[in-house]
């Protein structure tokens, strides 16, 4: 068990509310039933809607976006009078090009690819006046500040929905309007977040598989096909990568071992447990059930805006790691709606270290090995004794002069200031060192004064004053 303490904060996620209603229980009651602390506050982010002007007043503006001289997928946030009035993306079929319809007025366009992770948005001020020289074509060039690819790390959102989720959720559970992002456009949306591997996981549906795969292939992008196997009793799971169109079918009587076996037969190298401690939809609540199957590989440690479910999931992961169960921690957005920025595709996300050329196969192998970190923004690169990274086993040598010690070198890069955050080193669930952070880049070197034991694991986490995680690495394991 991790020894950190925090003030609990519970987010009001749409899926938790829906699940609680279906099960006839309140979130507070579910938390109390498992002994969690009562929430002291709620986070809410208002849903943003496009303010549509009368068509007669609209002016069409073509925005072309590039990076390094090549067309770039981008997110465009449209502000007017200091308020967000629209969200647009470049089109997946005409990369780097977006068409905006704007009514007369003064606008600020914030254009980005990977905002909050690899660059700051570029601001473009624009006055729209149909009766004068309003520019009808604009061009911008984006520039990255940080580049994880140079370190061999590639980003992915391992829980991302499209419009194909909506009919399946209405069919199986009577939940309507649960997904709006066009399947093909999701590729451009994920590239606009500066993700490297495209990922699709719809609720109990693989209807989007072929179009998503075709779109990614046309753009020469690696991709992974999944499905969010969505159940009422056992929680939710993402098996991947599935063969195109291979459905792991939901039935109310099916047990976890049956779902997992069916997923493996459909080609899944990895089975991911989604939001495992979200009330009503978390698999970890079933851990004492005889049908509980521990043969999954990956755990969503960070899912969407950070909340109590995430905090306690990480706590549970430390316990599982201490027991020698090497599950892999990841960060995911669980986003359904491309124009609603309350949750954003790619926030949080997972960076996976891949040796050599990036392919979907190499990516999945590295992910399953745990060579990854989850983050809401800060990039955290960790090495042990100059030869091991998260997911590796560091074999320490013994000699007549004594046992080899452990030296961690940590480099952190962040678009948002690191001020107010702390980097903590956790060895086998116990915090052994902490460092206050500031600025946008930090380097830390730390020598463990104690001799680690075989099976110990070193984790680096970034937390704020309220114990909310901003980044989490997987363990570097110790061998002898």
- Residues 285, 259 within the same domain: yes
DSSP annotation of 195: -
- Residues 249, 368 within the same domain: yes
Asked if the structure places residue 386 within a domain, the reply is yes
H helix intervals, 220-350 = 256-265, 308-322
- Residues 133, 276 within the same domain: no
Contact 412, 380 (CB under 8 A): yes
Count of structural domains within the chain: 3
Q: How far apart are CA 234 and CA 217, in angstroms?
A: 34
- Residues 65, 161 within the same domain: no
- Give the per-residue pLDDT at 391: 98
Percent of the chain with pLDDT over 70: 86
Asked if the structure places residue 435 within a domain, the reply is yes
DSSP annotation of 197: B
| 39 band by pLDDT with thresholds 50, 70 and 90 | very low
Is residue 184 scored above 90 in pLDDT?
Answer: yes
Contact 474, 370 (CB under 8 A): yes
Asked if the structure places residue 127 within a domain, the reply is yes
What's 385's domain CATH number? Answer: 2.60.40.10
Question: Where does a domain end: 112, 129, 145?
Answer: 145
**DSSP-assigned beta bridge partners for residue 159:** none
| 398 band by pLDDT with thresholds 50, 70 and 90 | confident
What range does the domain containing 311 cover? 10-44+149-375
- Residues 156, 83 within the same domain: no
What does DSSP say about strands 59-67 and 349-353: parallel, antiparallel, or unpaired? unpaired
Q: DSSP readout, 52-75?
A: PPPGGG-EEEEEEEEETTEE---E
**CA atoms within a 13 Å half-sphere pointing along the CA-CB vector of 182:** 9
- Give the per-residue pLDDT at 60: 86
- Residues 244, 336 within the same domain: yes
Site of tokens 């000699």: 399
- Residues 37, 165 within the same domain: yes
Torsions phi, psi for 186 (to 5 deg): -60, -30
- Give the per-residue pLDDT at 41: 31
Site of tokens 């709606």: 337
List pLDDT tens digits, range 364-378: 999 999 999 999 999
Q: Note the pTM of the prediction, 2 decimals.
A: 0.89
What's 257's domain CATH number? Answer: 3.20.20.140
Asked if the structure places residue 49 within a domain, the reply is no
- Residues 210, 352 within the same domain: yes
């Amino acid at each position: 068990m991790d020894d950190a303490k925090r003030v609990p904060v519970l987010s009001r996620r749409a899926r938790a509310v829906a699940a609680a209603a279906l099960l006839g229980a309140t979130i507070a009651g579910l938390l109390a039933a498992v002994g969690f602390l009562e929430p002291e506050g709620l986070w809410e982010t208002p849903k943003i809607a496009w303010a549509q002007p009368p068509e007669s007043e609209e002016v069409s503006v073509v925005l072309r976006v590039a990076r390094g001289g090549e067309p770039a997928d981008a997110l465009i946030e449209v502000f007017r009078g200091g308020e967000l009035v629209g969200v647009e993306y470049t089109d997946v079929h005409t990369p780097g090009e977006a068409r905006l319809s704007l009514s007369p007025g003064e606008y600020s366009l914030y254009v980005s690819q990977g905002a909050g992770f690899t660059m700051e948005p570029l601001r473009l001020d624009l006055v729209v006046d149909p009766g004068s020289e309003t520019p009808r074509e604009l061009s911008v060039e984006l520039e990255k500040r940080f580049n994880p690819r140079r370190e061999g790390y590639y980003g992915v959102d391992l829980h991302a929905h499209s419009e194909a989720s909506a009919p399946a959720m209405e069919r199986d559970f009577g939940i309507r309007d649960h997904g709006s992002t066009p399947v093909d456009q999701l590729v451009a949306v994920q590239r606009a977040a500066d993700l490297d591997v495209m990922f699709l996981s719809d609720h109990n549906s693989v209807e989007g598989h072929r179009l998503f795969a075709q779109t990614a292939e046309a753009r020469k992008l690696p991709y992974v096909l999944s499905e969010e196997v969505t159940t009422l009793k056992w929680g939710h799971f993402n098996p991947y990568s599935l063969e195109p169109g291979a459905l792991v079918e939901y039935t109310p009587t099916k047990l976890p071992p049956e779902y997992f076996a069916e997923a493996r037969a459909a080609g899944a190298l990895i089975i991911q447990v989604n939001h495992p401690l979200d009330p009503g939809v978390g698999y970890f609540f079933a851990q004492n059930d005889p049908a509980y199957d521990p043969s999954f590989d990956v755990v969503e440690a960070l899912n969407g805006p950070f909340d109590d479910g995430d905090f306690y999931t990480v706590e549970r992961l430390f316990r599982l790691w201490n027991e020698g169960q090497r599950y892999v921690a990841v960060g995911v957005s669980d986003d359904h709606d491309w124009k609603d920025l309350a949750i954003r595709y790619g926030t949080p996300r997972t960076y996976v270290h891949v040796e050599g050329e990036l392919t979907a196969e190499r990516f999945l192998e590295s992910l399953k090995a745990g060579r990854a970190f989850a983050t809401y923004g800060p990039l955290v690169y960790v090495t042990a004794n100059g030869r091991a990274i998260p997911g590796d086993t560091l074999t320490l040598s013994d000699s007549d002069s004594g046992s080899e010690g452990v030296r961690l070198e940590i480099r952190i890069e962040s678009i948002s200031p690191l001020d107010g955050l702390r980097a903590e080193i956790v060895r086998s669930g116990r915090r052994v060192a902490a460092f206050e952070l500031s600025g946008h880049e930090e380097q830390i070197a730390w020598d463990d004064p104690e001799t680690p034991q075989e099976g110990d694991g070193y984790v680096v986490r970034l937390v704020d004053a309220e114990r909310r995680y901003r980044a989490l690495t997987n363990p570097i394991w110790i061998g002898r």
